Structure 1
Amino acid sequence: MSILLIAAMILTVILLSKQKAGSSAGFLTNISYKLKGSLLSHNFWLAGTALFVANTALFGIAFVIVFFLPMGTILGLLLCIPLSIFTWLFISEIWDGNDKDKIKMACVGNSFFLILMIWAIWHYITLKPAYPGDDLFMAWIGLIFSLVLGVGAMAVSMFVILRNR
């Protein structure tokens, strides 16, 4: 499992280093050009909500792949990480407003990860042992893992969205 996590981190670093080339690719430019003048490119609430929905959908896809498909962890890591980065690049390319509103849009859209981390902490705080003497160490490990993944996803998303053009 740790090998898969390291491979996903390496893939993320490679994709982030190539993001300038990916953002100028014809496919992304053609789609974003059609949406440049729309309300989505100027209203940070609407763009942030679209980013929130995209993050929620990508998390749902990753959840289904990892937990309901055999050998889904490998497929989930190889599919959802590049798809997430592509989605964040797409939202970043569509944005045509000022940088202050772009920061607001990124905060609204990435609040999904904050809500997910708050839920994980609340779930851990209200966790009761299944039987007397039950060790909740594995629940603590799961909490730490979910917090690291949430902070990592939020940081990468903010970095990709708020990068300079």
Structure 2
Amino acid sequence: MTVLLLAGIVFTLILITKQRDIASVGIVRNITHKLKSRSLSTNYWQAGITLFVANAALFTLAIVILFFLPYGAIAGLLMCIPLSLFTWMLFSKGWRGSWKDKVRMAFIGSTFFLFFLGWIFWYYATLEPAYPGDDLFMVWIGVIIASIFTIGAMSVSMFVILRK
């Protein structure tokens, strides 16, 4: 599991450092050109809600893959993380509005991670032992790990979209 975590971190760092190279690929230029002609490139509410929905859809896809495929965690990492970064990069490159509106769009799109973090803490706060004497220490470790991953995902997505 540690190897999988390290591979995911290294893969994410490679994607972030090669962001400018990926942005110059033909398909990315075509998509951002089409995006610039829509109101998504100037209206931060529409773009932020679209990013929110994209994050929710990719998270749902990762959960479905995790539960229905053998070694689903590996497939989910290898598919959903690059798709998420790709989506955020498209909106970053296609944005034509002001910098302040871009920050608002990024915050609206990242609220999915904040809602998920809130759900994690609510789940832990309302959790009751299954039987008397049940130790909830492992649940607490899971909450800490999920919190770290959620804050990391939000930070990476904000970095990708707000990078000049």
Q: TM-score, normalised by structure 1?
A: 0.97
Provide the rounded CA distance (Å) in 2 between the counterparts of 1:141 and 1:66. Answer: 20
Q: Could you give the per-residue CA deviations for residues 32-73 of structure 1, whole angstroms, max 9, x where no partner exists?
A: 101202111111000000000000001011111112211111
Match of 1:68?
Answer: 68
Match of 1:51?
Answer: 51
Does 1:11 pair with 2:29?
no
Q: Which runs of 5+ in 2 are unaligned?
A: none
Q: Which runs of 5+ in 1 are unaligned?
A: none
Q: Report the AA paired with residue 86 of structure 1.
A: F
Provide the rounded CA distance (Å) in 2 between the counterparts of 1:144 and 1:130. Answer: 21
Q: Any residues of structure 2 matched to 1:119-158 within 5 Å, and which? A: 119-158=119-158
Match of 1:85?
Answer: 85
Structure 1 segments (4+ residues) deviating >3 Å: none
Q: Report the AA paired with residue 128 of structure 1.
A: E
Count of aligned pairs: 164
Q: Could you give the per-residue CA deviations for residues 89-115 of structure 1, whole angstroms, max 9, x where no partner exists?
A: 111112110100000000000000000
Q: TM-score, normalised by structure 2?
A: 0.98
Provide the rounded CA distance (Å) in 1 between the counterparts of 2:41 and 2:160. Answer: 17
Q: Report the AA paired with residue 93 of structure 1.
A: K
Match of 2:35?
Answer: 35
How far residue 82 of structure 1 moved from its aligned partner, in angstroms, is: 1.0
How far residue 156 of structure 1 moved from its aligned partner, in angstroms, is: 0.3
Match of 2:103?
Answer: 103
